[in-house]
A and B are shown apart, each in its own frame.
Chain A
Amino acid sequence: MSFPWAQEYTPKHPFMRWIDQRLPLPRLVYGSVGGGYPVPRNLNFWWNYGFLALIALGLQIITGIVLAMHFAPADTMAFDSVEHIMRDVNQGWLLRYAHSNGASFFFLVTYIHIFRGLYFGSYKAPREIVWHLGLVILLLMMATAFMGYVLPWGQMSFWAAKVITGFFSAIPLVGTAIQKWLLGGYAPDNPTLVRFFSLHYLLPFVIAGVVVLHIWALHIPGSNNPTGVDVKAPQDTIPFHPYYTAKDGFGAAVFLLLLAVMIFFLPNSLGDPVNYQPANPMSTPAHIVPEWYFWPFYAILRAFNTNFLWIPAKLWGVVAMFASIILLFFLPWLDKSPVRSGHYRPVFKWFFGLLIVDVAVLGYCGGSPPTEGIVMLSQVGSAYYFAHFLIILPLLSWFETPLALPNSISESVLHGEKAEAAPIGMGSGRPSTAV
């Protein structure tokens, strides 16, 4: 794929040659993640997170499949079967804590991956479809995480199902019918739990499929890089293997280390204690709140509390919450600045920093009880969120004067990051001389 100087797969062993002529799978691997895939030589550690997200997805699927062997998707049994996993199943506590904390880590690395794309302009041409597929993955992850959270059928599971499906009741005319259709009844009940279990088992494999498309689309233009300058010649690239496999390997070890610390020593620190009480439709928790990875969106939802232009506040909130993600699909056309990397955009850099702070503030607001002060703070935060993407970025691409770009990746490497400097086209590991 990608560049003309990509090294071709040449099987050395007769057996591999035999395989290659019949099923060129080794060739595919070599060309996608092996020595035959040239990658910009200047990727920094922010480029590790896509691989980390893939590891997280794998961990979730493996632990999830085993958990499903012990879980009973029925309203009278779900809570107790989770407790059975925690108490009686061999290493069941490990599986469940790995799965629940793994979900948090999956979102953490995915959010970092998205912010990396936002800063370095990875959504711009020619990578629009890579970006779109990534957003589809995000939406699927959110649906999967929400339905997974409902499965233990604790108090917060039940009320999360009630609140989230309640969003759809804000739609005029058909809203209530849609909510009833989603729940399989008037309130969360056994049909809700069973269909959520079915979909929670299905969607991760859909995610895996979209991940394949995401990587496929990525491999057409190849990775973006910290300069945002296109790859122009062989000296701009190095083979994926061993350079980025080694770098990703180190990143994966750090990721697993941090995840292990959470699983073994702080397994419940990210969860809500209320979910260790069985679901009770007759008793509403004092403070209904989603998991941390939904807090910014929850803050946006709650920020709209006054009817405006004859549209009810609830509908505004629901539309805004969905819009906060949908608008990202239009980002390649909202931000028309020809410069990709934030390094060379002096004004954008500041607004990007502000966006990070803004999302953190929204997260804080979403996790806190909605007092007057918190709601007003989330109104300001939400206003900036929408203004950033829909007003500031389009205007910036008109008014901002970017800094001078380096002529090529290798030039920026040679003049900037001396540590990774290497002159062009020398040595056996380089595609250009190996032809």
Chain B
Amino acid sequence: MVRFLGILVGLGFVAALLWSFGWGAAAYVSDPPQPTVESRFHKEPKDIRFRQDGPFGMYDKEQLQRGLQVYSEVCKACHSLRLVAFRDLEDVGYKEAEIKAFAKQWDVPDINPDTGEPTTRKGLPSDHFPSPFANDVAARAANNNALPPDLSDMAKAREGGAAYIYSLMTGFQEPPANLPTDSHPGPNLHYNPYFANLNIAMPPPLTATGQVSYADGKPATVDQMAKDVAAFLAWTAEPKLEVRHRTGISTVIFLLFLTVLTYLAYRNVWADEKHRRVRATGPLDPEHMAKSRQASGEAGVHN
């Protein structure tokens, strides 16, 4: 009975699916789907390697410091970094005094303890990076109604991570000649094939060599600045990567030992079961079977 009902229900589902399939196939033939503009012009992130890639990867501290400089001198004008605290910069290789001095350069919103009025004060190491705008409405108002996203998690919030950020920074270009007219960048938009829908509201932020003068004297080409800020944002998104990799390697070594030991224990336990009772003559040799029967008989088990 269940089988008959099952077959009926099954036929119902299959019929509904084939009905859907039929209409879909008819539409596919009569009106073949056109590739979207995005699928034709969108590009995957460039192939670029960072020092933190791979299971043994660790951040390049000097690169992070340069990236911090790019953020503080360029990105910060529009983008917040609200999840990162100044004290976290210890991981980037700064000493406590340096961090205190760095934090002091930033104005942090506060409440005046005497009047209760909003005010600002010098930053402390315990403060997070202050946002450039008081709120999202202010941010949109200052940016042609586009909201500059927070950058703290950006390297994890986009497919491709740091490579995507690097590609986006270096990917601004003139629209290709064969780009359909209605996909051309409108007013206040900029063509960038690494951006999901090709036209991004952000103007090219890194435009000229020497836009930032690096404290370590490294030539600040656009490519170098893009790499550095991408590495820095990889760190802001994943500040625990180094301890994760270190812990991971020791954990995997430990578990490899454990796996080998448990395997040997398993073989040992089962070999015991085999060798104690199975002689070289084979399990089915008559002498053995006779003994078995005798043992079973004594134990009161009848086979």
| Contact surface of A with B, Cβ cutoff 8 Å | 5, 80, 83, 86-87, 93-94, 97, 233-235, 238, 242-243, 246-247, 249-250, 252-254, 256-257, 260-261, 263-265, 267-268, 273-274, 276-277, 286, 303-306, 308-309, 311, 313, 316, 320, 323, 327, 330, 333-334, 336, 371-373, 375-376, 379-380, 382-383, 386-387, 389-391, 394-395, 397, 414, 418-427, 429, 432-433, 435
Contact = CB atoms under 8 A, between A and B. Distances in A.
Contact of B20 (A5, A87, A303, A435): A303
A425 B88 CA distance: 67
B38 to A, nearest CB: 9
- Do most interface residues of chain B lie in helix, strand or loop, or is the interface mixed? helix
Contacts of B3: 333-334, 336, 394, 397
A422 B27 CA distance: 64
22 contacts: A83-B152, A235-B292, A243-B270, A249-B265, A254-B259, A256-B258, A261-B252, A264-B247, A264-B251, A273-B158, A306-B23, A327-B9, A383-B14, A383-B17, A397-B3, A422-B283, A424-B295, A426-B292, A426-B295, A427-B276, A432-B299, A433-B299
B97 interface: no
B77 interface: no
A372 B156 contact: no
Given A394-B7, A422-B273, A425-B299, A250 B265 contact: yes
A40 to B, nearest CB: 14
Given A250-B259, A264-B55, A391-B11, 17 more contacts: A87-B88, A235-B303, A246-B268, A260-B251, A264-B244, A265-B55, A273-B156, A276-B157, A277-B149, A308-B19, A333-B2, A373-B28, A380-B17, A383-B21, A394-B7, A395-B7, A424-B295
A247 to B, nearest CB: 5
Contacts of B262: 246, 249-250, 252-253
A62 B152 CA distance: 29
A334 B1 CA distance: 9
Nearest to B285: A423
B184 interface: no
Contacts of A311: 16
A242 B262 CA distance: 12
Given A83-B83, A261-B252, A308-B15, A435 B300 contact: yes
A390 B6 contact: yes
A303 B277 contact: no
Given A268-B156, A391-B7, A423 B292 contact: yes
From B2, B13, B256, B289, name the one whose CB has the most chain A CB atoms within 10 angstroms. Answer: B13
Nearest to A286: B196
Contacts of A273: 156-159
Given A233-B301, A376-B21, A433-B299, A309 B16 contact: yes
Nearest to A394: B3
B252 A387 contact: no
Contacts of B83: 80, 83, 87
Contacts of B240: 86-87, 93
Given A265-B55, A425-B301, A379 B239 contact: no
B93 interface: no
B10 interface: yes
A80 B152 CA distance: 11
B33 interface: yes
B278 interface: yes
> When A and B form their complex, which 7 residue pairs have the shortest distance between CB atoms, in order from nearest?
A264-B248, A390-B10, A276-B157, A394-B3, A333-B2, A421-B283, A246-B269
Contacts of A394: 3, 6-7
Given A94-B247, A260-B248, A286-B196, A435 B299 contact: yes
A320 B13 contact: yes
Contact of A414 (B18, B159, B284): B284
B253 to A, nearest CB: 10
A376 B28 contact: yes
B188 to A, nearest CB: 19
A234 B10 contact: no
A367 B276 CA distance: 53
Contacts of B303: 233, 235, 424
B153 to A, nearest CB: 4
Contacts of A87: 83, 88, 239-240
Contact of A425 (B196, B249, B296): B296
Interface string B262-303: 110110111011101110001110001101110110111101
A159 to B, nearest CB: 15
B47 to A, nearest CB: 18
B274 A422 contact: yes
Contacts of B76: none
B189 interface: no
Contacts of B152: 83
A230 to B, nearest CB: 15
B61 interface: no
Contacts of B252: 257, 260-261, 264
B12 to A, nearest CB: 8
Contact of B296 (A261, A333, A424): A424
B25 interface: yes
A390 B247 contact: no
Given A286-B196, A425-B301, A379 B20 contact: yes
A376 B33 CA distance: 13
Interface string B167-208: 000000000000000000000000000001000000000000
- Chain B CB within 10 Å — which of A263, A323, A394, A397 has the most? A394
A199 to B, nearest CB: 27
B24 interface: yes
B255 interface: yes
A250 B292 contact: no
